[in-house]
Structure 1
């Protein structure tokens, strides 16, 4: 197997790493990475309570952010709007559905509320922030099912599928592509686009093991990803669905919506991003693969103090606004027109 893909997708490389981003990388390498390595070596499965999300209730959110709880049945979510952002009733036809990361094991609405608010503000769109069910209580297939319910909720509110962008980070990137695929398969129409931030798109660690980034990531050691693979398989076995789950890198992509994928240059998830972008572009689907020099996993969450994070959110907003106004389209409907890059507001926050 080749250690590094020859890409049909031509990545856009964003150079430069600020002092803040370098400090963040050093901090993760000496705290989170060794802890995850230790967890991976435990002789038993450990599912710690999701204390991270509870503690995150104390974190500040950008001024003017409002949200209300939405009961989706199987899970709780929230309808969030940043300052001055209108919803459908205010004349704004577009919205985002967002899936947080956390390896399907941790994190939630509280940990990601600030990031979601910044994306809402920069994109001028409200966001359904989804608190999907996670392992070990439920397998990944049920997380995907919750995402489909969330998309259906937006349709029921009056949003059209072509005006809904599906976004997520890390494990949420897995859900973003999986939910888009499920929506298409259900015949509900094509979503506006997919935003994937440092996405985990392949639960098999083989490609990651053979990639140059296998030991360069400042957040995840390889053994933690391999342990994660084992946990997902055991959860599938316990529910009697072994072999039925299809990861995004193996899904049909010929009718998928346009996408943007952002990844740090040293991330261990780089092969997932490369393969997904390669398959999309080879199928004629617009995909903006962005590689950010020396940035850590989901560095966008540190936008309060890392300048590259704010720039990346601006790039996300440009994509979201472009698919909303039709200047980026799926091949079947694509017209030859100049892409208008509207100004965004993320940098001012």
Structure 2
């Protein structure tokens, strides 16, 4: 465990987790992460950054491309944030780094969020962009979905919804601590409540309720842990052994394998939630390199 991770855990526990106590405050959460994102450096010169405006006529939300000069594959990425905060700016460094490690063009999607837009708006936006990539002639087997936390759950939901609509599947999906169970019924919600340096367990049901707007918490396209996973492409899942959402990853991995889906689960001890997105950590950069290798391998048939 790096000294950077030790420091990150201390800061998160005494600032982020402490600030998250009490009733959910959407404005405060958005202000905090957006203020932090303003301090991020721009993408490196070798990564081309191209904003994409929303296209209401085509049902497309805004997005942005982060791409190497000659991309060999495509990553469709969905940011985390409990379905109510974070966005393109907060996840730009991660997407830029992933573009480099995977020799890819990464499309980061600015899907609609709660409470302004509730379920299934985010799923509709995700599927709409997948259809757009297919309409542009991009080979689905050269594409990998990606996402962290709520964005990991959304990537899964997009896979399930796309399969059910008869759309082609991508080559695979990379998921960082995916929030796959909005019923918050995993045993680690309680057993790791003290060990988790970021979240208080009571805040997640509040965020889920904000997004679900009265829909059942086990609705498959909101909680894909409860969906039929048959026919989905290979999954690469990363999670911390010390986060309250650990059971969302372990149960998803087990369920995927039981339903014939190839899945690999990578766990690290004493790391914060979605630590692969925290580029100041050596462990995050190493993991994104491993993800780049996975993305390269599952798309090899097309890009060879």
TM-score, normalized by length of structure 1? 0.79
Which of 128, 136, 158 is the matching residue for 2:115?
136
Aligned residues of 2:182 and 2:217 also touching (Cα < 8 A): no
Aligned residues: 294
Shift of 1:197: 0.6
Tell me the secondary structure at the aligned position of residue 222 of structure 1. coil
Deviations 1:233-287 (A, max 9, x none): 4x2x3xxx55783211011112110000100110111010011000111122111
Whole-angstrom CA distance in 1 between matches of 2:23 and 2:234: 37
Shift of 1:210: 6.0
Whole-angstrom CA distance in 2 between matches of 1:203 and 1:269: 10
Shift of 1:55: 5.7
Shift of 1:326: 4.2
User: Is 1:319 aligned to 2:294, yes or no?
Assistant: yes
Residue ranges of structure 2 left out of the alignment (5+ in a row): none
Change (3 A) 1:301 1:61: farther
Tell me the secondary structure at the aligned position of residue 214 of structure 1. coil
Whole-angstrom CA distance in 2 between matches of 1:33 and 1:260: 27
Whole-angstrom CA distance in 2 between matches of 1:26 and 1:58: 20
User: Is 1:67 aligned to 2:46, yes or no?
Assistant: no
Aligned residues of 2:43 and 2:92 also touching (Cα < 8 A): no
Q: In the alignment, what sits opposite 2:102?
A: 123
User: Is 1:145 aligned to 2:145, yes or no?
Assistant: no
Residue ranges of structure 1 left out of the alignment (5+ in a row): 1-16, 41-45, 328-341, 343-349
Q: In the alignment, what sits opposite 2:6?
A: 22
Q: In the alignment, what sits opposite 2:63?
A: 77
Deviations 1:141-162 (A, max 9, x none): 1101100011112112211222
Whole-angstrom CA distance in 2 between matches of 1:257 and 1:137: 32
Tell me the secondary structure at the aligned position of residue 137 of structure 1. coil
Tell me the secondary structure at the aligned position of residue 207 of structure 1. coil
Q: In the alignment, what sits opposite 1:346?
A: none
111-120 or 292-301, larger mean C-alpha shift: 292-301
1:1-349 pair list within 5 angstroms: 17-40=1-24, 46-48=25-27, 50-51=30-31, 52-53=33-34, 56-64=37-45, 65-70=47-52, 71-73=54-56, 74-82=60-68, 84=69, 86-87=70-71, 92=72, 94-208=73-187, 212-233=191-212, 235=213, 237=214, 245-246=219-220, 247-303=223-279, 305-326=280-301
Aligned residues of 1:104 and 1:140 also touching (Cα < 8 A): no
62-71 or 19-28, larger mean C-alpha shift: 62-71
Tell me the secondary structure at the aligned position of residue 154 of structure 1. helix
Whole-angstrom CA distance in 2 between matches of 1:198 and 1:140: 20
Change (3 A) 1:66 1:315: same
Shift of 1:320: 0.6
Change (3 A) 1:266 1:189: same
Whole-angstrom CA distance in 1 between matches of 2:189 and 2:148: 23
Aligned residues of 2:49 and 2:65 also touching (Cα < 8 A): yes
Shift of 1:62: 3.7
Deviations 1:50-87 (A, max 9, x none): 333366244213412222222343421012214x3x24
Shift of 1:183: 1.4
